Amino acid sequence: MDKKLTIKNPHKIWGRQLYSKWISGTYGWVIGSVEEISDNYYFQLASNGPLKSIQIKLRRNPAKYNPDDKEFLYELWAWSHSNGKWVEEYYPKKDLDTMDGMCMRLGLMLEKILPKG
């Protein structure tokens, strides 16, 4: 069984709004593009705010295994604009399988890496 994560039609997610009233800082952010380079997807997020763009990466191969739920976890990672460090989050494939799920996880990551205030 191939565990590599595949986005079948990445162009369909372009232009999707990341806004969620439950996730602060997501208003005005959209997915500008998605590129597949080697074993990563690169999501270029765009905004009309003071910070114009941010890149979030998704590793296509599982990064961890959760023995409790018996599932592999995939890593989203990005550079934090609030503290200057890498931020990593791990999600099971089922959380990244739909456009809504992917946008929600990108929004959660965006909330963690944007400057506060």
Query: What CA–CA distance (Å, rounded) separates 41 from 34?
Result: 7
Q: Tens digits of per-residue pLDDT, 65-81?
A: 999 999 999 999 999 98
Q: Is residue 2 part of a domain?
A: no
The tens digit of pLDDT for each residue in 13-39 reads 888 998 888 888 889 999 999 999 989
Q: Is the CB of residue 17 less than 8 Å from the CB of residue 29?
A: yes
Give the helix, strand, coil percentages of the chain, each rounded to 5.
Answer: 20, 40, 40
Domain count across the chain: 1
- Report the distance separating Cα 96 and Cα 82, nearest Å: 25
In a domain, 107, yes or no: yes
Domain that holds residue 88: 10-113
Residue 75 lies in a domain: yes
Tell me if 80 is assigned to some domain. Answer: yes
